[in-house]
Amino acid sequence: MRYDCLGFVEAGLSSDPQLAESKFGIEEKKEKISSLKAEAILPTFNVSMMVGPAPGLKESVDNWGDTVDVYDFSRMGPFWGVEAKFVQPLNLGQYRSGKKALEADLQQKTYAIEKQVHKKDVELQSYYYNYLLALEMQRLAGEAQKQVDKAYDQMEEALDDDDPNVSQMDFLKLKSQMHTVKEGVSDANLGMKRVQLAIRFSLGLKDDDVFVAYDTCLTPRTERLPSLDEVRDMTLRYNPELRQLSAGLSARRLQMDLAEAKLAPEFFVMGEFQYVKSWAGNRSVLQKNAFAEDAVNKLSGLIGVGLRYRLNFWKNWAEYREARTEYRGLRLKENYAADGLIAQAEEQYYQVVAAKEKMEALKESLRASEAILKGAAMQYDLDKSKTGDLVSAYTQNVTLQKDYYFAVCKYNVEFAELISRIGMSLKDFRTALGQL
């Protein structure tokens, strides 16, 4: 599985289970908006139908001598009935406020997930550069082991040949430093195993998958470091926390409007229709008129404009005050949020600059150390008694190489943190600078 830094980050983001779970929250918000839209037209519209047996009717004389219809269960017959009822609210203002509040809430959730993505972006970049660091440490430790083993064998041969320029003390000094090299090899292998575990989890790799980076060595990032003014400008323009706060203000304002709208009466149109028809015979003939009404057959309906007013005024007023308080609190937060986020980005910018300066200083020292090592190697070729100087120069060079690679990794990760503090992903940052 070969990836460069951007490809690794994109693959890790698409494979992360927590981000996938968070994105279901966006779908949930969208479903709420869809539900509200579905309830805008005829939220109550019920139609019921029934079929069954019904008794017939026959004429009878009551106690007062009047002729009335009574049920005749000896003449049963089928009947069919239908009943429909609908209610259409006319409170368009509440619907609009509620819909806009849900849309603003969706924006808040989207920006919150975007912020979460940026944090994961930094984590994945740190995995990538730590993998390259582990490669360098393995290479460095392996080379050190090879050189020390070579010097060990040469000194051992020189002692066997009774070379006067090599003493037993020199041999013991070299042998006493072998554990340091072995510890370096062990630490390098451990670092590689740990970062490989993190990478396998992030990418969801199978047991037979192997991660390999396109980069073969750890080098400073190629992205241009923006100026401080550019950092401030991009933070104001792209930071998702500022956009999340703006969406939160909009949502709270709309909730306040919705709570205020609920203080007013609600108008609606309501209609109802009922029809029952029985084919059971009456006492003399089968009723053929489909709309004739009697004790069984019915035809009724109504339609009109209604008014509903909630008498628990104090409850709606409390909801309005709660929304107004939250809105005012967010307005106060808005006054200092931008300055605070810019300050965080500026602080991270200074850390990146300091990490870059340290990396460049170590690079200069490493060049001087390499020159010293070459000189010590030439002196050792001329005089085998200079073993101590050669070992000292080589140890200093290896230590500086290790410090330099750690400084490069720190600079790269601090740069990734700066991109996150600005409020951008690695891909968006490279696109903004025209470096994709």
pLDDT tens figures, 303-343:
888 887 777 766 767 777 777 777 777 676 666 678 888 88
Here the tokens at position 20 are 């996938």
Greatest mean pLDDT among 134-143, 178-187, 212-221 lies in 212-221
285: pLDDT strictly greater than 60: no
Here the tokens at position 78 are 């089928």
Query: Is the pTM above the cut of 0.75?
Result: no
Mean pLDDT of 172-194: 72
Q: d(Cα 395, Cα 160) in Å, to the nearest integer?
A: 26
DSSP 385: G
284: pLDDT strictly greater than 50: no
The whole-chain average pLDDT of the chain stands at 80
Q: What is the dihedral of CA 353, 354, 355, 361, to 10 degrees?
A: 110
436: pLDDT strictly greater than 50: no
293: pLDDT strictly greater than 90: no
Q: d(Cα 363, Cα 122) in Å, to the nearest integer?
A: 25
- The string of pLDDT tens digits covering residues 137-152 is 888 888 877 777 776 6
pLDDT band, very low/low/confident/very high, at 283 (cuts 50, 70, 90): very low
| CB of 102 closer than 8 Å to CB of 32 | yes
| Percentage of residues in the chain having pLDDT higher than 70 | 83
- The string of pLDDT tens digits covering residues 343-361 is 889 999 999 999 999 999 9
- Give the rounded distance of the alpha carbon of 130 from its chain centre: 23
Q: What's the burial of 365, exposed, middle or buried (CB within 10 Å: 0-12/13-18/19+)?
A: middle
User: Quick count: other Cβ atoms within 10 Å of Cβ 338?
Assistant: 16
Q: d(Cα 120, Cα 126) in Å, to the nearest integer?
A: 10
Looking at this protein, which amino acid is placed at residue 364?
E
- The string of pLDDT tens digits covering residues 152-167 is 676 677 666 666 666 6
